[in-house]
Structures are given as structure tokens and as C-alpha cells.
């Protein structure tokens, strides 16, 4: 290892590339951080065979178990494409009626990457891989998201031009984006950012109201599902996605 120094904690584990145990259990999709803290307090979590304490860290190569069951994160990640229907809320809060978790009723704990408004529909990615979320959502990475939008009256060339150059909303200015007219009252828009209700606010600025909004693509993943259905990403989709995230 040359001159590289690796600090050791009180239990002798390496702290290089370390993650707090509660965050680790959340990122691998086992449970929430709060639930992880409870399990740790109940002495149900072990790291390399030793009972974990709150604040302990996990490094590459460490073996983590809960209730005697070893956690194998690299084999347990799932990546799902869902066609979210209108009326479903992008939240993991199960106290909220119509939350996306109860809607899917998936047998494992998963969460959404980004959001779609309750009154919008289309592609949303679900996973239990916490590491991938920020890579996809981070604005400076400029990952594309494509939408088909219907509005309440005829589109003009002036609207298309000004929408593509950026619009003042939420005390900011949207980034330049691709906007193409599809029909008299429908357009396609490709964004590389995700402000709150961004497309609706952009349209409202020019006097238009959105009547329907559907996300049809996130990066290389295209919507190809009936409303309310989901599927796991293909090996090719996942491989391409991971390569795009490394750029």
C-alpha cells in the first residue's frame, strides 16, 4: 500500500471509504436510518462479527449482518422503471394517501429518484441504491429528462423560442433547453434541471396552462410501459446508465 495511511477505529476496521452504519443500511435498501439506529440500539447489527454501536463506520470489505443475516449490497440492488399514473404522490411517506411505495407494493424497500407531480404522469426510476440518486439528480451533471406537454391553447413560435432560451421563475432563471412543437397544443421539452413544478411554471409565465404532462425519458431510459406498470431495467440500460453517470 506504499505510503498510504489508513486510520483504524477502536475495533480495528479501516476508515478509508467509510460510511456510518445507519447510512450504509439505508443506502443498501435494508431500512431507513432511523430504523437502523433502533436495530443498532437493540444490538441486532454486527460489523465483522462484532456488535455495532451508533456512529460506527463501514468500510469496503467489511461484513455487515442484521439479526444474523448477512447484508450483500452488491447483489441486492434493484433498478426499476415505473410509469407513474396521475394521482400518485412521489413520496415514501406511507402516511400520505396514494404514496408511490404503497401503490407499487414492491416486496423490498425502494425509493424514488427525483419526483413527478401528483397531477403529472410518466417515467420515474425506483431503486434501493442510495449512491445513484445524487449522481442522477445533481444539476451540474446536466442529465436529460424529456417530457411531452399539452397546453390549453395554440402554441406560437414566440412561445417555443422563449421557452428554449430560459424563463424567470422561482427567483431564478431556467437553463436553456430543447423545446419542439409537436402539434398545435402539444410540445416536447428536454430539461437538464428539475425545479419545483418547473414546466408548469414556465408555461404559466407565458400565459399557458398545462392540461397534461408526461415524462417519457430519463437519460437513456425510455418510457415503454402502460400506466401504472413497472419493470426492472435491462442489463443494457443499466450498463449504459452507469457509464453515463461516470462522465
Catalytic positions, please? 117
What are phi and psi for residue 50, nearest 5 degrees?
-110, 140
Half-sphere exposure of 69 (CA within 13 A, CB side): 7
Those residues whose C-beta lies under 8 Å from the C-beta of residue 132, and which sit 6 or more positions away, are: 79, 113, 245
- Provide the residue count of the chain: 247
Residue 124 to residue 107: CA distance in whole angstroms: 18
Grid cell of 8 as nine digits: 483504524
Half-sphere exposure of 245 (CA within 13 A, CB side): 16
Q: Are 184 and 155 in contact (CB under 8 A)?
A: yes
Q: Are 43 and 51 in contact (CB under 8 A)?
A: yes
Amino acid at each position: 500500500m506504499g505510503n498510504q495511511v489508513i486510520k483504524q477505529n477502536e475495533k480495528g476496521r479501516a476508515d478509508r471509504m467509510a460510511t456510518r452504519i445507519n447510512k450504509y443500511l439505508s443506502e443498501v435498501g435494508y431500512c431507513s436510518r432511523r430504523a437502523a439506529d433502533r436495530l443498532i440500539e437493540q444490538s441486532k447489527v454486527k460489523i465483522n462479527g462484532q456488535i455495532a454501536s451508533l456512529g460506527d463506520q463501514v468500510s469496503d470489505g467489511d461484513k455487515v449482518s442484521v439479526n444474523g443475516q448477512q447484508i450483500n449490497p452488491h447483489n441486492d440492488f434493484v433498478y426499476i422503471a415505473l410509469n407513474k399514473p396521475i394521482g400518485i404522490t412521489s413520496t415514501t411517506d406511507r402516511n400520505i394517501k396514494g404514496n408511490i411505495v404503497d401503490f407499487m407494493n414492491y416486496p423490498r424497500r425502494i425509493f424514488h429518484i427525483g419526483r413527478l407531480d401528483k397531477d403529472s404522469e410518466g417515467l420515474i426510476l425506483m431503486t434501493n441504491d442510495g449512491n445513484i440518486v445524487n449522481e442522477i439528480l445533481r444539476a451540474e451533471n446536466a442529465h436529460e429528462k424529456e417530457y411531452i406537454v399539452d397546453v390549453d391553447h395554440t402554441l406560437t413560435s414566440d412561445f417555443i423560442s422563449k421557452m428554449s432560451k430560459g424563463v424567470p421563475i422561482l427567483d431564478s432563471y431556467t437553463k436553456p433547453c430543447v423545446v419542439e412543437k409537436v402539434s398545435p397544443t402539444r410540445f416536447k421539452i428536454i430539461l437538464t434541471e428539475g425545479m419545483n413544478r418547473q414546466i408548469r411554471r414556465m408555461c404559466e409565465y407565458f400565459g399557458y396552462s398545462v392540461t397534461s404532462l408526461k415524462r417519457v425519458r430519463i437519460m437513456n431510459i425510455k418510457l415503454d410501459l402502460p400506466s401504472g406498470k413497472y419493470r426492472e431495467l435491462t442489463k443494457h440500460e443499466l450498463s449504459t446508465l452507469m457509464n453515463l453517470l461516470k462522465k
